[in-house]
Chain A
Amino acid sequence: MAILNILHFPDPRLRKKAEPIKEVTDDIRQLADDMLETMYDAPGIGLAANQVNVQKRLIVIDISEDKSDPLILINPEILDKQGEREYEEGCLSVPEAYETVVRADTVKIKAVNRDGEPFEFAAEGLLATCVQHEIDHLDGKLFVDYLSNLKRERIKKRLEKHQKQKL
């Protein structure tokens, strides 16, 4: 197990589109476990592989209070979207920024699990928000893309300043 380095906006590598996973190997399972550990450590409730600089379609999620409900989704796809839900989202790649984003309230998802078996499920509320947020990552999209240019630029400037200070 290892804690991986999370890329921060505006890192261009976050904009790369992730490739489908052809076969669920031990390496993929190891990556999923490391991503879960990284996510819990952050602390977060969802993480996509390209946030840790692996351009593969893999996301991990756990919205429980006590790390009791880890979910590994390989090659996830949204089959259906219903309703609307506003939520103040934050992202591990965009530290300390929280902004309201409107997404579907209920989604139907198709994915492959860690044993390589395909499955489908319906998510609503926070879980639905989180799945959509993470699938966006796999497509190179960030939650700040839904904000006004002004807000996005302000967040970008703040984070660039932070990174310069760290260097």
Chain B
Amino acid sequence: MAKPNLIKGARTNAALILNEVVVQQRSLNTALAHYLPQVDEKDRGFCQQLCYSSLRYYPTLQFIVHQLIKKPFKAKDKDIEQLLILGILQLRFLNTPDHAAISETVDASKKLKKVWAGGLLNACLRNYLRQQEQINQKLLANEPANYAHPSWLLNLYQHDWPENWQRITEANNKQPPMMLRVNQQKVSREAYLQQLESQQIAASIIEATEYGILLDQPCDVFKLPGFEQGLVSVQDGSAQLATSILNIKLGQRVLDACAAPGGKTCHILETSPDNDVTAIDISADRLLQIQQNTDRLGLHARLVAADAAETNNWWDGQTFDRILIDAPCTGSGVIRRHPDIKLLRHPEDIDTLASKQQALLDNLWPLLKADGLMVYTTCSAFKKENEQQIEAFLQRHPDAEEVKLSSAPATPRPFGYQRLPGDDVMDGFYYACLRRK
């Protein structure tokens, strides 16, 4: 039998990856892991760029496609629609020369064994170039297409942040910067900056954080000095602040309730490596990622695969000094890092997630020692998951009080602290610190 017939091109694979996300509703990371290995190594960066950028602008690109085609694509030809989306992306947002964008897109349809689509793709892309002006006029009149967000998502931002929603959506469409957390057990931030400098990696400190570094350009982790030896981890500054406000002290028993992939678990342990730290995640597969991270950094946590909210399945009856709930959420604060959220989240998710968040808060609260701290965080920008969630929690639990932090991790709200996308260089994030009286 011959070797499997792998389709190698960046554009063809990007179309297949988009189809997995858009049609099969799989996460971009899952789809990339499946298709990227068959792309020639030199084309993988471009393939990834095509996927991220097209998802970032999907509502805009899809609107344009609808202006160019007479009837919708059949279900089995959605891959051709993805190729058209990618073609327009290249013409409109990337620096691909027009002739290359068109001929390569036509070529990719042959690799998908759909030679019939070549003429259609060619005609649509050329029509786009001719009709750009009229299309741009129509775009301005259509908010979801103009701001590149599905209308339900746009409505929620507009409802919660009538003053800021345009800045939020603009920030969501930008490429995110790469940030690092220096492992304080191994090296100081200043010393590590020098190591980066000696490797010609331009970087600066993130003032708001204790151990954060901002890279000028994203970079392969294995090119970072001492990455494999655990000198640094990749983590946005916003997430680093979550651990800072936990105020970890030596000898404490700590619970990280929704821990995977383990960034905050590791940060907690770097702060105080001998602490008794329990890291829980609902997915056993994702628990492996925590293990890989603690192994690389030379740290140890107790790992449990469970739904943290179902405490009778995993809790040993010993209370905790600190509990971190980095709750599952819509991710509406980190869309720049996960543009597939625009296609994978649906309006009904927000209620499901809010009740999940409430269950975590209510069920884990009794596990906290008197005078202990519970930190609740999300990477959401929606009030229902954040300040309204905490307001309702404080009403239900008279033995809980909010701790007002002397150095605020983000903009103070009536309850907790909110960073919106675009407020600064870091991810959108929400924080609330609660003390048990």
Partner-B contacts on A (CB < 8 A)? 42-47, 88-92, 94-95, 98, 126, 129-130, 133-134
Contact = CB atoms under 8 A, between A and B. Distances in A.
Interface string B11-38: 0000000000000000000000000000
Nearest to A133: B1
B72 interface: no
Contact of B2 (A42, A126, A129): A42
Nearest to A88: B5
27 contacts: A42-B3, A43-B2, A44-B1, A44-B2, A44-B3, A45-B1, A45-B4, A47-B1, A88-B4, A88-B5, A89-B1, A90-B2, A90-B3, A90-B4, A90-B5, A91-B1, A91-B2, A92-B1, A92-B2, A94-B2, A95-B2, A98-B2, A126-B4, A129-B1, A130-B1, A133-B1, A134-B1
Nearest to B37: A65
Contacts of B4: 45, 88, 90, 126
B2 A45 contact: yes
A129 B5 CA distance: 14
Nearest to B113: A98
B3 A43 contact: yes
Identify which of B1, B3, B4 gathers the most chain A CB atoms within 10 Å of its CB. B1
Contacts of B5: 88, 90, 98
Contacts of B3: 42-45, 90
Nearest to A87: B4
Contacts of A90: 1-5
B164 to A, nearest CB: 50
A44 B1 CA distance: 6
A6 to B, nearest CB: 10
A90 B2 CA distance: 5
Nearest to B5: A98
A64 to B, nearest CB: 11
Contacts of A98: 2, 5
Identify which of B2, B3, B4, B5 gathers the most chain A CB atoms within 10 Å of its CB. B2
A91 B2 CA distance: 5
B9 to A, nearest CB: 16
A47 B4 CA distance: 14
A136 B5 CA distance: 20
A45 B5 CA distance: 12
A86 B70 CA distance: 34
7 nearest interchain CB pairs?
Answer: A90-B2, A46-B1, A98-B5, A133-B1, A130-B1, A43-B3, A44-B2
B278 to A, nearest CB: 37
A32 to B, nearest CB: 17
Given A47-B1, A98-B5, A129-B1, 8 more contacts: A42-B2, A42-B3, A44-B1, A45-B1, A90-B3, A90-B5, A98-B2, A134-B1
A94 B2 CA distance: 9
A78 to B, nearest CB: 16
Nearest to B1: A46
A88 B2 CA distance: 10
A73 B279 CA distance: 48
A143 B254 CA distance: 60
A76 B63 CA distance: 57
A75 B382 CA distance: 66
A133 B1 CA distance: 7
B110 to A, nearest CB: 14
Contacts of A134: 1
